[in-house]
Structure 1
Amino acid sequence: MRTTTPSGMSDTAPRTYAHEIHATGLTVRVGRGRVAVDGLDLSLGTGTHGLLGPNGAGKTTLIRALATVLHPTGGDLELFGHSVRDRSHHRELRRRIGYLPQEFGYYKRFTVREFVTYMAWLKELPDRDIPGAVQRAVERVGLADRADDRLKSLSGGMVRRVGIAQAVVNDPAVLLLDEPTVGLDPAQRLQFRALLQELGRESCVVVSTHLVEDVAAACTDVVLFDQGRLVFQGTPDALASAGTPDQPGDSPLERGYSALLSNSDQGKGSW
């Protein structure tokens, strides 16, 4: 269930929009002017979208741009019908976004409940709604029995689950997860896939991952990204059908992944 539209957004948000995320010719430069996202055209709506690609493909840069952490250097990016170039809307947009970066900062002396509560406060949830929202988020990631433990006492996988909890505490309309399954054991990954499927029924979920099996199990849509450019967008079945038995990979999906990268000019030398 999504949160109520924040105060102020209802006055400025379009009545309707075709997609929660819409990029047109999106270019993002990082470092010393390196183009990490290169003229991207992409539209994403309700569903769970798996963002695949080799190391250095630009996945993290794209996720950070979608989270309004990085700003476009070319083209345009719209969230909920608003261009992110208009920074006056960033505060309202961020209230509707959940974001888990690859590395997220946290206070080791906070308990799980305290940390997720703090993040809910930063996202400007109404005070009366915060306790219930925190409890739901902690339960969703299977940490209800550890809610009052300090973060410094948790394993790496549990800390990652706390990161997922803070990302979903505001019931975001757009949820951005960068390598969320790092550190999770096989049972936890299965539970996480089920959570992704649940969230994708009402929200636009974008999951950056190296694990093709997670995409196959949880995602309605696959976005294959390499050297800042879109190589493929379609269903997991369509990705699997792009492969042939002679392509490297342990599954049809991995062979389709390999085939599309090898057939793409962008894929050459990217590993």
Structure 2
Amino acid sequence: MARAVDPAELAPTQHAWEVNAAAVRVRAGRRMAVDGLDLRLGTGVHGLLGPNGAGKTTLIRALATVLRPAGGTLELLGVDVGGRPDLRTLRRRIGYLPQDFGFYRRFTVREFVEHMAWLKEVDRRRVPGAVQQALERVGLADRAGDTMRTLSGGMLRRAGIAQAIVNDPDLLLLDEPTVGLDPAQRLDFRALLRDIGEQCCVIVSTHLIEDVAAACHRVVLLSSGKAVFQGTPQDLVDAGADSDLGDTAIERGYSALLARHHEGAAR
């Protein structure tokens, strides 16, 4: 049985909260996809889990300032986004990889990442070095001259990750980043996450629970727009039993927590 986790235990040791949400509500069309969410996240790698329709992508979009909360309080990097701040300045400090991202098919990989660095207003003197470093970190330096239209699905995903980190963000948001990556690439990606998470708040939305177990310091489980669990991967493992659904201990913990939440909601 997983113990209740005091949010104070999630405090980073050196930095203030990068994400501080209180009773946040966010609409996706007519539906309130995030409904009364309390969340505080600091430096480290945080896995965002939940079934389809749980509100993961809507939450990521709100954290990326694409969607404005319909209620509650949301502070990002110390800035209250509900107070109509200078979002342009805030966005310079955020890296974001959506599930689907657009690009000019005739751009080379380097041109694509350079273009995104320009949009993020990276100092032009830093752009060449920042682009090269980003490409090296995702293993695309040897494909920098290839056009985007020639890349495989996995390589496109890595190019998307490169643009998300080119501005050396303080808050990195990745929505299903491992889609299309082969097993070896996923191992490299996990190592990259752990490295970035030493100095940055990284939030990874994924359906691949094993990626969370291998790379994340903390886990947030969403269901029906609410956080039904926050804790470590080990806490998630401890929530399950051998009789619960799943092939691994962490999958059984995930299934057990969702089942308990649904049982409680049905009462």
TM-score, structure 1 length as denominator? 0.91
> What amino acid maps onto 2:144 in structure 1?
A
How many Å separate the matches in 2 of 1:134 and 1:266? 49
Displacement of 1:268 in angstroms is: 7.1
How many Å separate the matches in 2 of 1:95 and 1:149? 27
Pick closer, same or farther for the CA change 1:153–1:67 going to 2, 3 Å. Answer: same
Q: 1:241 aligns with which of 238, 243, 256?
A: 238
> What amino acid maps onto 2:246 in structure 1?
G
C-alpha contact (below 8 Å) 1:227/1:266 kept by paired residues: no
Residue matched to 2:6: none
Residue matched to 2:60: 63
Deviations 1:3-60 (A, max 9, x none): xxxxxxxxxxxxx97301000000011212x110000010000000000000010000
C-alpha contact (below 8 Å) 2:79/2:85 kept by paired residues: no
Deviations 1:199-220 (A, max 9, x none): 0000000000000000000000
Pick closer, same or farther for the CA change 1:24–1:17 going to 2, 3 Å. Answer: farther
Q: 1:42 aligns with which of 39, 44, 60?
A: 39
Deviations 1:128-149 (A, max 9, x none): 0000000000000000110010
* SS of residue paired to 2:82: coil
Q: 2:198 aligns with which of 194, 197, 201?
A: 201
Displacement of 1:88 in angstroms is: 3.0
C-alpha contact (below 8 Å) 1:261/1:268 kept by paired residues: no
Residue matched to 2:122: 125
- Whether 2:154 is the aligned partner of 1:154: answer no
How many Å separate the matches in 2 of 1:255 and 1:77? 32
What 5-or-longer segments of structure 1 have no aligned partner? 1-15
- Whether 2:91 is the aligned partner of 1:73: answer no
C-alpha contact (below 8 Å) 1:17/1:81 kept by paired residues: no
Q: Which moved more, 1:81-90 or 1:51-60?
A: 81-90
Deviations 1:227-247 (A, max 9, x none): 100010000000000000000
Displacement of 1:63 in angstroms is: 0.1
Q: What are the equivalent positions in structure 2 for 1:1-12 lying under 5 Å apart?
A: none
Q: 2:20 aligns with which of 22, 41, 45?
A: 22
C-alpha contact (below 8 Å) 2:18/2:76 kept by paired residues: yes
Q: What are the equivalent positions in structure 2 for 1:84-123 lying under 5 Å apart?
A: 84-123=81-120
> What amino acid maps onto 2:141 in structure 1?
A
How many Å separate the matches in 2 of 1:230 and 1:266? 15
Displacement of 1:85 in angstroms is: 1.3
C-alpha contact (below 8 Å) 1:226/1:266 kept by paired residues: no
Q: 1:211 aligns with which of 198, 205, 208?
A: 208
Deviations 1:70-92 (A, max 9, x none): 00001010011111012332111
Residue matched to 1:4: none
> What amino acid maps onto 2:74 in structure 1?
L
C-alpha contact (below 8 Å) 1:229/1:266 kept by paired residues: no
> What amino acid maps onto 1:249 in structure 2?
G
How many Å separate the matches in 1 of 2:265 and 2:104? 42
C-alpha contact (below 8 Å) 1:111/1:148 kept by paired residues: yes
Residue matched to 1:177: 174
Residue matched to 1:253: 250
TM-score, structure 2 length as denominator? 0.92
> What amino acid maps onto 1:241 in structure 2?
D
- Whether 2:220 is the aligned partner of 1:227: answer no
Aligned residues: 253
* SS of residue paired to 2:67: coil
Pick closer, same or farther for the CA change 1:100–1:205 going to 2, 3 Å. Answer: same
* SS of residue paired to 1:257: helix
> What amino acid maps onto 1:216 in structure 2?
A
How many Å separate the matches in 1 of 2:100 and 2:128? 26
How many Å separate the matches in 2 of 1:51 and 1:230? 10
Residue matched to 1:9: none
How many Å separate the matches in 2 of 1:267 and 1:120? 46
